[in-house]
Amino acid sequence: MKILLAASEAVPFAKSGGLADVAGSLAKAIRNRGQACRVVLPLYSDIPDHLRAGMKEVARFQVPLAWRNQYCGVLTTTCDGVKYYFVDNEYYFKRSGLYGHYDDGERFAFFSRAVLEMLHHIDFEPEIIHCNDWQTALIPVFLDVFYRQSEKHRNIKTVFTIHNIQYQGAFGLEIIPDVLGLPESAHGMVEYQGNCNYMKAGIEQCHVLTTVSPTYAQELTDPWFAHGLHMLVAEKQYKMKGILNGIDQKVYNPATDPHLVQNYTASNLAGKAACKQALQQEMGLEQNPSVPLISMVTRLADHKGLDLVQWAFSSLMERPVQFVLLGSGEGQLEQFFRDAAGRYPGRAGIYIGFNEALARRIYSGADLFLMPSRSEPCGLAQMIAMRYGTIPIVRSTGGLRDSVRDFGGENGNGYTFLTYQADDMLDAVYRACRDFANPQLWAEHCRAAMSCDFGWGRSAAEYISLYQNLLSM
């Protein structure tokens, strides 16, 4: 099979969130299973110079976008055995940051159209284009409206994956004729509740719809989770499938991770104790191995459950625990945690921003990893934490429900709570702290978490099966 994975970000080239990890890792896992999978991304100016150095130009052409004809170059390079294409237009992509620009609707409409035009100029004819989130959701629309008569495009099937339905690419209706250039007969493909909604278009026009966990696929029919698209998702359930994401277990490996002060394995956890001591020292905490160290590595955003943490923080810190947080986001949340570090010196360590090396040291050095999310399509942090023997405490929603099983039942690997209430979250934390006081039991818990297989092999196999079924339809 020939698959072209279209995404707005992918590691190691550009990353703002979990989509980048998925795009980079899934393509590699699919290729390792004998399928031809390539990736196409925008050529952002933020892509590091050392990754640009190996790129070579393979095409130049014009991209029609309503009344515009915009220049497009295509560059290519290979990374971890996967061939990547980069759509180059400095007007749209020579800027700082991937998203958040006033003309994002036009930027990613151009990118979607350029992906299809590119197929006239490269030596790869995909059978499937796998689109991801709103930034590439117009590809199925443009394919059906403008390209189906082309020999290169006639038989292409499309898969569209929802990574987070909260971000939909909703713009004013004026963008439809002025930017998308769609004929009036096709306006209904993108119109939704008085706006032009790119994600709605992808959901409606793709051949197969996926999302990043089985539970999230069910939740998206609920208004609480779907941000206004629940009725459409419910209507399209016949083509919907939830496939749990994975992590790159070679990258996230406590036995080899160069960021750790001492490496360790499930059979020899001595290095984890050294990592905890080093993390306590780095974050200005009392170096006490017998105190449970609770951690968070997160975006400081409302849906991450941080209102529960705010409400319960004083009660939590009445117990003999330590707390570490790495993250950035909403200003009032940043200030809350800065203040918390001042209120609890030697017990609360806060880093506002992002630091990949520090994140690894937190995953390895903490005892517990807290994810009380209001919604969590998949979540990768809980998988990474388990890989490092740090036990997750999660609300049972989305991918957290699909990956974390409470130690109170069979095959446990973490602690869970169901209702979105601070008291229930605290109850799960307190249960974990009671177990932590038993060193032998806790070592068993660490080994159980580390034995979980969250690699991309399972996910890739499910996607390959999905692609094969699609092509046989």
Strand 240-242 and strand 208-211: the pairing is parallel
Q: What is the enclosing helix (H) or strand (E) of 63?
A: strand 56-65
Q: What is the CATH superfamily name and number for domain 2-246+457-472?
A: Glycogen Phosphorylase B; (3.40.50.2000)
Give residue 44's pLDDT band: very low, low, confident or very high (50, 70, 90): very high
Nearest to 216 by CA among 401, 421, 384: 401
Beta carbons within 8 Å of 317's beta carbon, 6+ residues apart: 323, 344, 347, 348
Beta carbons within 8 Å of 174's beta carbon, 6+ residues apart: none
The predicted structure's pLDDT at residue 8: 98
The predicted structure's pLDDT at residue 354: 87
Give residue 33's pLDDT band: very low, low, confident or very high (50, 70, 90): very high
pLDDT, tens only, 225-250: 999 999 999 999 999 999 999 999 99
* Domain 270-453 CATH (choose: 3.90.1570.10, 3.40.50.2000, 1.10.510.10, 3.65.10.10): 3.40.50.2000
pLDDT, tens only, 136-159: 999 999 999 999 999 999 999 999
pLDDT, tens only, 358-413: 999 999 999 999 999 999 999 999 999 999 999 999 999 999 999 999 999 999 99
114 touches 63 (CB < 8 A): yes
Length of the chain, in residues: 473
Q: Residue 259 forms beta bridges with which residues?
A: none
Cα–Cα distance for residue pair 19/27, rounded to 1 Å: 12
127 touches 466 (CB < 8 A): no
pLDDT, tens only, 104-130: 999 999 999 999 999 999 999 999 999
pTM, rounded to two decimals: 0.93
Q: What is the mean pLDDT of the chain?
A: 97
Q: What are the C-alpha distances in Å from 314 to residues 148, 284, 319, 370, 426?
A: 60, 19, 9, 16, 11
The residues of the chain that CATH labels 3.40.50.2000 are 2-246+457-472, 270-453
Percent of the chain with pLDDT over 90: 98
pLDDT, tens only, 421-432: 999 999 999 999
Q: What is the enclosing helix (H) or strand (E) of 279?
A: helix 270-282
pLDDT, tens only, 298-328: 999 989 999 999 999 999 999 999 999 999 9
Cα–Cα distance for residue pair 7/134, rounded to 1 Å: 10
Q: Taking each helix axis as running N to C, give the angle between helix 331-343 and helix 306-317, from 0 to 180 degrees, rounded to the nearest 10.
A: 10
The predicted structure's pLDDT at residue 17: 83
The overall longest dimension of the chain from CA atoms, in Å, is 69
pLDDT, tens only, 45-55: 999 999 999 89
Give residue 180's pLDDT band: very low, low, confident or very high (50, 70, 90): very high
